[in-house]
Each structure stands twice: as structure tokens, then as C-alpha cells.
Amino acid sequence: MTTPAKPANRHHKRPRGEGQWALGYREPLNKNEENKKNDDGLNVRQRIIDIYSKGGFDSIDPADLRGRMRWYGLYTQRKPGIDGGKTAILEPEELDDRYFMLRVRIDGGRLNLEQLRAIADISNLYGRGTADVTDRQNIQLHWIEIEAVPDIWKRLEAVGLSTTEACGDTPRVILGCPLAGIDDNEVLDGTAQIDEIYDTYIGDPAFSNLPRKFKTAVSGCPAHCTVHEINDIAFVGVVNERGERGYDLWVGGGLSTNPMLAKRLGVFVTPEQVTSVWGGVIGIFRDYGYRRLRHRARIKFLVNDWGVEKFRDVLEKEYLGHTLPDGPAPEQPRGGRRDHVGVFPQKDGNFYVGFAPRVGRLDGDKLHLIADIAERHGSGRVHTTVEQKMVILDVAPDRVDGIVAELEANDLRVNPSTFRRQTMACTGIEFCKLAIVETKATASDLIDELEQRLPDFREPLTINVNGCPNSCARIQVADIGLKGQLVVNDKGEQVEGFQIHLGGSLGVNPGFGRKVRGLKATAEELPDYVERVVRNFEKQKNDGETFSGWVQRADEADLK
């Protein structure tokens, strides 16, 4: 007797799509996707010029104000006086100030003196002197009024700079080694590839509506200074078995609240292929990236779900139309620090001088001063790094002592302590609407305290201070990562503080920081805490052992 088939379950629902265009899910799935469907972010430029700069802040359409204006590097900054406890409670319009943060994109970190002075002038004229070097080689200004934006663009574009796609769901600034073309030990110079990607794709409407932001690094630096492990796409210089110089391709890195390290596709990309391969990878992200949920809209989630083999297969068959040969992995990074601080020879016989501003914070006058110092000592180039530092290039041997002395005299440290050299801080509650705590001043005070308490400490030690969980300052891959939150002090008061991540690292043994249950500190307690854990490290470390290596084996009691 044949058993009758069970009737279909009429209540069974088709699996919900992830908003992937290539699979037919094109309807707006959240407010951001609806705004982008209604109008491309690139179109806001003309409205800023024709309407908003003339009508003032109140004339700005809300969808442009909190959405499309990011396509040109503009975010409303945080209204002063709103404490961190209100960050997740208030509506956007309650957090918005009538001023903007403006991000100037500096692809490859390359600035000439004319460009540096143009940014300095804009800072002083329109930004109340503010200027922060970011951990993506940009410079950010604050207190910008919408009326000033057209003139700012004219000044920037006159010297070859731009804010186009500095923010938004776009291909953002392309990281590159600040020593590209001058480092005698580099695998290859990635400058031409950065320029070609920029010229081909930045501002192209074909790639101006991505699921979310898309971060790129292209470098042949032997120190791996562009932190390829945490970019959406990275081209890392390698030499293959035939002695040819090209790139190893990495995809799917990113931090924030769901950190993931990038994965090697295992292919060898020639310099001539970089632009088309970049176009293929970003095309996959545009077409297959998840758009339904904003917090899953980065390419790292797609790479994680697909796996490397499928991603490579789709790239080669659907987007390139040809296979890529297998290639070698990069050599391990040279040295224990990846920031290019100090004085080192160039391959042309001159020297570069890398220096450390205090947690990336500068101002218009200081930018002018840096340009003047560089020019007095024969340099026409000042580049930025991904560690919130700067490098003056092309200094003649007989000018090195003079330029070092002048930089040091102006608190631009060429020979900084570990704490000045390797402490990084995001924008924080002073200007950022997402932040919960103050960061720049907290980090600066921490540096001063640690330099006094631990004057002889010389080991590499990264301390990254972040004002919220989004990890703009890369807390998960720091030796000591500080994630801002409100905590209760010993008096029972709710105050600014940090959850502490320990032992994160990139390079030889990449991994995310260890979270010890209940390990938090108020901002006031930070110097005591860091001093205590560093002294424990000094007592217990083995020969050659890094801080992150020690953390992985240390007893919890020694980490508190």
C-alpha cells in the first residue's frame, strides 16, 4: 500500500532574502537603502552648491543631511553638552549640531606642501583651527558651516584634493605606504595602482551605491603599514616563484562590533591587473552584498558565508572572465612597529623623518608650521600614515639634525616614547554623535602619565582608545584596546570609562584582544591600570616575548 504524500505546508515561508541585487532582491529593505534608491548620493553636491550653501542649515533636506552628504565627506557633528548616556536614546535631530565634520581624503597619504597649506588655511578660515590626522590617512576638520562648503571644495580641488566619497556607502580613501617609491626595501611601489583605481572608479555612479563602506589598501611596504588584515580589500606586495613582483589579494577584513580578519584568495595579481580585479571585487560587493540588515552589510559577512573558494570562483567567472594564477603569501612584516616614525634612509640617498603628533591631533597653525619646517629643510612632501602620524620626505643628509631638532622643539616627536608613538584615539564625544566617552584628551593625559611613571619602557605597545563599540581606533587588534562606555566608580556614580581588551595583534600572530570578565576602568583609573599591567608584563615576559604573546598565557589576576 502506497503511503499518500503529505500535503505541502501552506504556512512554510520562503527564506527571506538578504537584499542581494544579483539574486533579485532590489526593493528598499531599510531606510538607508530607500534613500539611496530615491537619489544617488553623488547628486547632493549640486544641491549643496545651489541650495543649501545659500539657504543655510535649515534648508537642508533631512535625507541629505544625515545620508547623502556623507558621499562628500560631511557628517553633522555632535551638539555640545550631550552626555554619553544620551547617545543611544536621542533621535538624530536631537544629537545634530548645526556644524559639520569634513573629511579630506588623502589617497596613499600623499600631500605636497601646497596641499598641506590649503588644508591649514581651510582649518583656520572655516574650522576653528581643528585638524585631526586619522588612522586612514585622512585629515578631518570640524565646525564647518554649510555656507562655506563650496569655497572649501574650490580650495581643495585647486590643489588636487577632494572630499568625494570620503564617507558614505562608497569606495573610501585608498590606503598606501607613505614611503612608496622611496623605501629601498619595498617589494614594489603601489602609487600607480592607487592612482588608477582612483581615476577609474572614484565618483563613478556604477559604484556609488554599495551596501556599506568599502575600504581599500594597496602597498608593497615590507612593514605592512597599511594593515591589510582589516581592510575590505587589500593588495599586498609579493614576489612569485618566477621573480615577478605583484600582489597577493586579501578580502573581507573589518572590525566594528563583529570583527573579522581578511582572508587570502591565494591569487597572484600583476600591477596591470589591479584595477580590473579591484573592480571585480567591489562589483561582487555591490551585487551580492547584504542590504537587508545594516549591521550585516559589510563584505566580510559575504566572504565569511561564501568562503574563499566560492568568492574566488565568482570573481574569476562572473566578473573577470579569466582565472588568476595561484600566488605566494606575503613575507612576515619587518620590525615590531608599522608606523614609520624616526629617521631612515631613502633609496636616493636622502632621508625621511617620521614624527608623532599627539594622538593625531593638530591644528591649522601646526599644519602650516609642519609645511614651513619641511620647506626650510628642502622637502616638498609630507605624507600621512595609518597610525595618525606624519612623514617628511626627501631630507638631505646634512639637514637631518636640524629638522629633527625643529620638530622636537614643537612637540612633534621624532624620537617619541612608546606611549606617544603607539597610542591612538578616535574622535570621541567632543564631535562624534556615536561616541559615549571622551577620547582625545583622555589618551593625551594617559600618555603624559605613563611617560612619567614608566620612563624607561621601550617595548612595542599599542594603546587604542575608542569612544564607542564601532572600533574606529581598532581596539580589537591593539595590545591594550579601550572601548568607551559608562561605568560605575567606587562612589556608585556613573562616569566615563572603558571595557578593556588585551593582547590583540596583527602581523606574525594576528588575533583579537582577550576580554577578561568584568575588566573595566574609569577614565580616571586608566593610568593606574595600564601602569600595573605593563609592570606585570615586564616582570613576567620571556626573552623576545611580545605583550600580546604574554597576555595569551598570563593569569587573569595579572591582567586586572
Which tens digits make up the pLDDT trace of 436-488?
Answer: 999 999 999 999 999 999 999 999 999 999 999 999 999 999 999 999 999 99
Of 4-13, 227-236, 335-344, which range is least confident? 4-13
- Contact between 479 and 495 under an 8 Å Cβ cutoff? The reply is no
Residues in Cβ contact with 328 at an 8 Å cutoff, skipping those fewer than 6 apart? 238, 239, 240, 241, 248, 268
Q: Say yes or no to pLDDT of 242 above 50.
A: yes
- Contact between 88 and 112 under an 8 Å Cβ cutoff? The reply is no
Which tens digits make up the pLDDT trace of 357-411?
Answer: 999 999 999 999 999 999 999 999 999 999 999 999 999 999 999 999 999 999 9
Residue 363: inside a domain, yes or no? no
Residues in Cβ contact with 310 at an 8 Å cutoff, skipping those fewer than 6 apart? none
- pTM of the full structure: 0.95
Residue 444: inside a domain, yes or no? yes
Residue 33: inside a domain, yes or no? no
Tell me the three state secondary structure of residue 298: coil
Residue 192: inside a domain, yes or no? no
Which tens digits make up the pLDDT trace of 495-530?
Answer: 999 999 999 999 888 999 988 888 999 999 999 999
Residue 385 gets which letter from DSSP? -
- Contact between 518 and 512 under an 8 Å Cβ cutoff? The reply is no
Residue 471 gets which letter from DSSP? -
The backbone torsions φ and ψ at residue 472, rounded to the nearest 5 degrees and listed phi first, read: -60, -30
Range 258-273 average pLDDT: 97
Using only C-alpha atoms, the chain has a radius of gyration, in whole angstroms, of: 24
Residue 2: per-residue pLDDT: 44
Q: For the chain, how many structural domains are there in total? A: 1
Residue 175: inside a domain, yes or no? no
Residue 29: inside a domain, yes or no? no
Tell me the three state secondary structure of residue 440: helix
Taking the CA atoms of residue 474, residue 139, residue 423 and residue 410 in that order, the dihedral angle to the nearest 10 degrees is 180
Q: Which domain holds residue 519?
A: 421-559
Residue 347: inside a domain, yes or no? no
| Mean pLDDT computed over every residue of the chain | 95
Residue 15: per-residue pLDDT: 59
Residue 184: inside a domain, yes or no? no
CATH number at residue 509: 3.30.413.10
